[in-house]
Amino acid sequence: MLGLLPALVYDPATFGCSRCADNLLLVADEPGRFDDLGRLGIRFGLAWSLLLIAVAVWRAVRSSRTRQRVVALVVLAGCAYLGLVAAAFATSLERAFVGSGDLERRLWLGQAVALTTLAVAVGWSLLRARRTRSSLARLVVELGESPPPGRLREGIAETLADPALEIAYPIGEGRYVDARGRPVDLARGDDRAATPLVREGRTVALLLHRADLLDNPELIEEVASAARLALENERLQAEARARLEDIRLSRTRIIEAGDAERRRLERDLHDGAQQRLVGLSLALRLMRSHLGTDDGGDLAVRLDTAESEIRRAIVELRDVAHGIHPAVLTDEGLAAALEAFAEEADVRLAALPQERLPAAVETAAYILVAEASKRGAASASVERRDGVLVVEVETDAAPETLVELQDRIGALDGRLRVERAPSGGVRLHAEIPCA
Amino acid sequence: MRVVVADDSMIVREGLARLLADAGFAVVGKAETAQELLRRVELTSPDVAIVDIKMPPTYTDEGIAAAQQIRRSHPAIGVLVLSQYLESRYAMRLLEEAPERVGYLLKDRVSDIAVLADALKRIDEGECVIDPTIVTRLLKRSRERGPLDELTRREREVLGLMAEGRSNSAISQTLFLSPKTVEANVGQILRKLDLPPSPDDHRRVLAVLEYLRTGA
C-alpha cells in the first residue's frame, strides 16, 4: 500500500521525463507529498525488519537448549538478512527512495549471501525432520511385526532421540507398569516430563521423556499416532503380565501366610501347652515326694503313672510341633535343619549352602528334601549358583505331595522337574531364585 | 549346691525351684528373662545356672546366648540349658566355645530329680552333660556302612556314654567295668573311628558328637 500510494501523487513530467507516458493513477501532482510517502514507506520497512529481528531473537532465547541448537542457524541467517535490509532502509531514509549506489550494492550482496544461508539452514532442518519421520516410518513398519516387549520403547526412544525415555501403561487403581508388567515410578526430576497419550478419552500410555521434547509437541503427537496400535497392544500385554505377577505374588503370600501360621502354631505348642505339661509334671513330682515312702503306696504308684503319662505327652507334643514346623529351620537355617533332619531320616547330604536364605526359599528346599526322602533312601545336594538355589534329590519314587511342592516352588518363581535317575529311581531337580 | 533358675513360665520356674529345694539344692535366684538371669548370676555367683532355651523377647534361642555369655564372663559358673529341641545342633552350639561346665537336657526330664541332680553335680564338677535321648538318636541314625559298624556292642555303649559327656570313671561305674577295661575300650573306639588319640575328656565329647553328627 505504501509503495502504491506515492504513484497517486507522482507525475513523471514534473521530474523532467517528457517522454514518459502519463500517469493514469495521478490524482494530484504534489512532489512534496511524494517524498513524504516514500519516507513513510522506508520507515515502515525499517521498523518491520527490526520488529521481526526482535521477535525471532525473543523466541529463540525463550526456547529450550535443544531447540536453540536446531534453529540457531536459521535465526542467525534470518537476523543477518533482516539487519542488512534494515541497514539499506536506514541509508535510504535521507533520499526518500531506495537507491542503487555503491553502498546499496554491497548491502544487496550481503543480503543475497544471508538469504542463501537461510535457505540452506531451512533445508537442513527440513532434512532433519524428514530423517525423524523416516525413522518413525521404520518404527511403524517394525511395529507391524509385533515387537518383543521393550522394543517399542527402544524404537520411540530412538525416534525422539531420548535414550532414557520410558513408557508407562495405566492398569487401573492408579498403578502404572512397563511393558514387562513391572511397576513404574512416576516421580521424576525436573528435566523429565510425562505426556499422556490419550485415545477416545482414555489414557493409553504415559510417555516419560526429556522435558524439552515438549517444545515439539507435534513430534510426540506424530510418534503417538504412528505407534498407537502397538501401544494399545503393548498396554494389554503389560496389563496381563502385571495381573500374572499379582497372582504370583498373592500365591507367595498365601504360602508365606501358611508358613507363618505353622511357625506360630509350633511356638504356641512349645510355649503354651508344653510348658504347662512340664509344670504339671513338676507339680505331680512334688506331690509324690511329699507323700513320703511309707504312706499311700497305691496313691504313689498312681502319681508315678500319671507323671510318666505326662512325660510321654510332652514327647509326643514335641514330635507334633516339630512336624508342624522345625524350629531349627527358622533359628539356624537350611543347612542346620537338613543336618538335623538327616539325624533321623535316611538321607545323605552332599552339599549344603552355609549362608542364610530368604525364609520361603529355605522352607521350600527343606520340604522338598523331607518329602522326597519319605519315598526311600535319598541323597540330596543343595547349592547356590548365581542367585539360584539348586536342589537335587535322588530317591526311589516321586513324592506324593509333588503338586504341592511344584506349587510352592512355582510361587517363588522357581521350577521343579522330575527326571528318571540312572539308578532306576527318580531325580527331583528344583531351581529357586534366591537373589 | 547353689543354683539360679531362669524360665519365663512361672509354673515351671516355681515348680523347678521347689523340687530342687526339696532335693537339698539352695535356689539363690529366679529369673524370668535372660537379662534378669545375667543380673542374678552377677549378684549371687551360683554354682550352676539352669536356663530355659526359649525366653523373651524372641523366644528362639536366647537361653543359649545367655549361657554362652555366662560361661564367657564367669568361667567358674556352670550352665544347664533346658530345651525342647532334639536337634544336636543346639547342644553343639553350647559346647563349641568351651565344652566344660555346660549341659543340655530335654525339658521332659526335669521332673526326674535324680537325672537333674546328677546333671547338676556333673556340671559343677566341670564335666559336660548331653541328654541321652540326643545321643541315642545320633547313634541310631542311618548311615552307610562305616567305622561305626566295626564297634562291638560294649564299645557302642561306651561311645554313647562318652557322647553324653561322661568321664572314664563315670563310665566304669555305670557299666560295672574296671577303669582299665574302660580305658582300653575308649582307646579302641578312638582308634577305630580315627579320632585324635587322647584328647581331654571335654574335647573328647566335642569330637565324638561331631563324628556322630556328620559321620566324619
Residue of A nearest to B111 (CA): A282
Q: Which CATH superfamily is domain A333-433 in?
A: Histidine kinase-like ATPase, C-terminal domain (3.30.565.10)
Establish if B58 touches chain A: CB-CB under 8 angstroms: no
Amino acid in position A427:
R
* A225-240 mean pLDDT: 84
Size of interface A-B (CB pairs under 8 A): 100
What residues in B contact A310, CB-CB < 8 Å?
A: 111
What are the beta bridge partners of residue A203? A198
The answer to whether B87 contacts A340, with C-beta atoms less than 8 Å apart, is yes
How confident is residue A162, by pLDDT bands cut at 50, 70 and 90? Answer: confident
Contact A381, A392 (CB under 8 A): yes
Establish if B187 touches chain A: CB-CB under 8 angstroms: no
Top mean pLDDT of A90-104, A137-151, A296-310, A365-379 is at: A365-379
Higher pLDDT, A144 or A282: A282
The lowest-confidence range among A108-112, A201-205, A293-297 is A293-297
* B15-21 mean pLDDT: 93
Sequence-separated (6 or more) residues with CB below 8 Å from residue B171: B158, B161, B162, B177, B182, B186
Contact A39, A20 (CB under 8 A): no
pLDDT at residue A64, as a whole number? 66
What are the pLDDT digits (tens) for A324-370? 999 899 888 999 999 889 888 888 888 899 899 999 999 999 999 99
Q: Is the pLDDT of residue B91 over 60?
A: yes
Compute the mean pLDDT over every residue in chain A, rounded to the nearest whole number. Answer: 84
What residues in B contact A311, CB-CB < 8 Å?
A: 108, 111
* B182-192 mean pLDDT: 87
Share of chain A above pLDDT 70, in %: 92
Of the candidates A271, A339, A344, the beta carbon closest to that of B137 is on: A344
Establish if B132 touches chain A: CB-CB under 8 angstroms: no
The answer to whether B85 contacts A343, with C-beta atoms less than 8 Å apart, is no
What residues in B contact A348, CB-CB < 8 Å?
A: 144
Q: Is the pLDDT of residue B13 over 90?
A: yes
pLDDT at residue B145, as a whole number? 65
Region for A55 from its dihedrals, namely left if φ exceeds 0, alpha if ψ lies in -120 to 50, beta otherwise = alpha
Residue of A nearest to B15 (CA): A282
What are the pLDDT digits (tens) for A174-223? 888 888 888 888 877 777 888 888 878 888 888 888 877 776 677 777 77
The answer to whether B86 contacts A267, with C-beta atoms less than 8 Å apart, is no
Of the candidates B59, B87, B137, the beta carbon closest to that of A328 is on: B87
What residues in B contact A275, CB-CB < 8 Å?
A: 9, 11-12
What are the pLDDT digits (tens) for A396-420? 988 888 999 999 999 898 999 999 9
Contact A264, A294 (CB under 8 A): no
* Distance from C-alpha of A394 to C-alpha of A52, rounded to nearest angstrom: 86
Residue of A nearest to B140 (CA): A344
C-alpha cell read off for A183: 511397576
The answer to whether B9 contacts A275, with C-beta atoms less than 8 Å apart, is yes
Q: Is the pLDDT of residue A248 over 60?
A: yes
What residues in A contact B54, CB-CB < 8 Å?
A: 270-271
pLDDT at residue A314, as a whole number? 92
Sequence-separated (6 or more) residues with CB below 8 Å from residue B214: A339
- Sequence spans of domains, chain A: 4-125, 151-247, 250-324, 333-433
